[in-house]
Amino acid sequence: MSFKLSELLAIYKPEQLNAFLREYMNTDLEENNLLYENISDNWTCVGNTKYNLSAINMLKDSGKGLIERITNGIDAVLEKEKENYGLNSPKSADDIVKVAFPHYYENKVNIKKGESNRQNACETADKVVVAINDSTKSNKPTVDVVDQGCGISGEKFGDTILSIHKGNKSTTDKNYLIGAFGQGGSTSLPFSFATIIISKKNGNIYFTIVKKCLFTDMKMDTYLYLTPNGQVSLIENDEHDYADDYIKTFINSESGTLIRMIDMEIPREYRVNDAAKPGMLGDFINTELYNVSLPVKVVENRADFTNNAHKQNRYSYGSNNKMMTWEYARKEYFGTISIEHNSKEYKLNYYFILPPDESDWAKDAKCKDIFKQVNVHLVPIIYTVNGQYISSERFTKLKNAGLSFLQYRLLVDINLDVLGKDKYRFFTTDRSRIQDSDLTNGFLDKVIEALKNEKTIVDMNNYIASQSVNANIDNELINNISSNVKSIYNKFLKSGNKILNVNNGHHVNPTPEEIYYDSIQEFEITTSKQVFYKNENINIVVTTKAKKSVNDKAKIYMFVDGKQNYNHSESVMNGRIQYTLNDIPIGLHNIQFDLYDDDLNLAKRSNTFEFAVVDDLKKQAESITKNKDLELKIQLVDDKELIIDTVKNEIDKTIDIYLCLSHDLLVNNLYGKSASNDEIQVLKNKLLEPIILFTLFLGENYDNIEEIEKKNEIILSFCNTFYITNSLK
């Protein structure tokens, strides 16, 4: 049986994989009543056991599964170079990198010394690549992890890349491998529909396909890998011209491995945007591979992002390296603290990540957006082993130690390589926290004690604390709040003091987890509004459930009252297309859309939607004149007796609102309950709008109170209730 490499590398989707398996193996493992005995000539159980589900399904986080694959790739490169240069006993990965990639190593050292301000992959470029590709669904891309490492021969697949608990990296002479602490690449299998493994070794290319199957005599799934006639098969390199450079590089390399995870469940927060964007997949890799020896090239291949004007592939060098050349990392506040525990000396390296403008240091939202680019988990204390992020401590410990203003600003890393082989006993088996043992007992208390007594850290905490209460709210926030309050309050007045639930007729926005497909699944007009004024935009929404790139290329024609309409504009989005119609006359109308395929055959026809255009300008004008919109102006003031004061001018239809955020009652009774800057700033981003609306809705019930103390008591009570309610959510 002869397999061609180009056929295998053309598979990105489940249906393509199943078609390949049915053609060559006569089964896609999805038939009913399958028994292992029926397919054992061509399939082998991962780990040589049908009962492999629990061992493989040990990870709960699909992101960690991807990282395991990447660390395997890095380790393969290190192993290859160790052999190439005859390095007998390297103690660390850097011992190998220094010899194998001297230019990259020298640049990295110069960066740490402050003698270079630019990252450069040099000879390590393309040694490890992660490419994110389109599949069938937007929430499950197909991901390639490719390395130019040592490669694996077919007969070794079962004992290495597809083994379970073999301990291939656990001996003390392999401490330089970062994957030694991991659970193995097989733990990524549950997060994909199937996995294709291609490896090049000694001029030969081998491949297998891993997929799970539920046998009729089993209660649980079994993971299998393809072994035609009992062995991992060779595959013919048919010299195809591939579009992707990283695939060409892999095929032309001396050795290496390509892992393709089809329909992989990447966590939503890292896949909803271009992989190179802040907080996306590139920064997730930076966080997890915090201080590893080699960079990882991240390639964005999804159609929704490859057409972006500023789209580019990036290298993830690890957050520690990133901070050394990053404008937001304030090196003048970096430092190291030593602590002793169980006769071992530990180094606590601390870093301050802050906006360039000092006036922004007290703004949690701004600091959070920046901090997330070096630690997507938003935790202040991390533990590393062989440069890899392993576990962390949340902000609570620092908060309780009095450092409550440093969330999203302070990052502390603790390198546990000092423990030697004991570092593997430092954590629970799932790596979620440190073990409760003689080795770790009292360790975290010493860490917190050292941090809370470090002068630089204490001084920075106090400085940001002094900014917090007195910090000015930026004009953009004030304008946004003023606009929102004005809109809501005007509707309140015009409805006869009854807040309206206004349906503007817009399509409901998709939920965060809505799935978009690579073909149009539905073709339906979903607009709810049916009456439009003559001078109003007529927006009609067609729901497709397809990706934006698919909607953009679709051949769709609009028909209004049975005639094709050209006088319109389109807004293409994920899942839907919005059409804005122009110059539609007064009267009753109907609209319909036709979708054509590439051969211009009618593929789908939408429902027919009726709508009316009316001329009610006179009534509108009378309404506006009778109930003129109020003008609203918000001013922040200091040293005001009232927390909030409203001055209404009925003649000019204006309201001036004076708000004293630094009022003693708020400082002592509300801020005092908050131990983090976010909670102290709650009036800026959570409470400011509700407190103004609360006062306006009270109307005369608030305005007619003469005692200042009584007004403040009402507002403070509302603030406390709002704070408690939102804290419990």
CATH number of this structure's domain 326-469: 3.30.230
> CB-based contacts of 672: which residues, under 8 Å, 6+ apart?
none
- List the CATH code of the domain at 524-624: 2.60.40.10
**Largest distance between two CA atoms of the chain:** 93
Task: For residue 669, give both structure tokens.
Answer: 């009774």
Give the three-state DSSP class for 51.
coil
With beta carbons less than 8 A apart as the criterion, state whether 401 and 452 touch. Answer: yes
For the beta carbon of residue 390, count every other beta carbon within 10 angstroms.
21
Rg, Å, the chain Cα set: 31
Q: Which long-range contacts (CB under 8 A, 24 or more apart) does 497-505 make?
A: 503/528, 503/529, 504/529, 505/529, 505/530, 505/539
- Beta-strand ranges (E) seen in 528-630 are 531-533, 538-543, 555-560, 563-564, 568-573, 576-581, 587-596, 602-605, 609-614
**Would you say 226 and 233 are in contact if contact means Cβ atoms under 8 Å apart?**
yes
For the record, the structure tokens of 356 come out as: 């360039």
Task: Please say whether the beta carbons of 30 and 18 come within 8 A.
Answer: yes
Domain residue extents for the chain: 5-266+277-304, 326-469, 524-624, 630-727
Phi first, then psi, for residue 615 (nearest 5°) are -110, 100
**Torsion angle of alpha carbons 39, 42, 45, 49, nearest 10°?**
60
Please check whether residue 362 is in contact with residue 676, taking contact to mean a CB–CB distance below 8 angstroms.
no
What is the distance of C-alpha 309 from the center of its chain?
Answer: 21
Please say whether the structural domain 5-266+277-304 has been given the CATH code 3.50.50.60.
no
Question: What SS3 class is residue 268?
Answer: helix
Residue 728: predicted pLDDT: 44
Q: Please give the backbone phi and psi of residue 510, each rounded to the nearest 5 degrees, phi first.
A: -65, 150
83 three-class SS: helix
Q: What is the pTM of this model?
A: 0.77
Give pLDDT < 50 ranges for the chain: 180, 182, 472, 497-508, 617-627, 673-675, 728-729
What are the residues whose beta carbons fall under 8 Å from the beta carbon of 32, sequence distance 6 or more? 216
* Assigned token pair, 50: 């049908």
Q: How many Å apart are CA 34 and CA 224, to the nearest integer? A: 13
By CB neighbour count within 10 A (0-12 exposed, 13-18 middle, 19+ buried), where does 587 fall? exposed
Q: Strand pairing partners for 579?
A: 540, 570
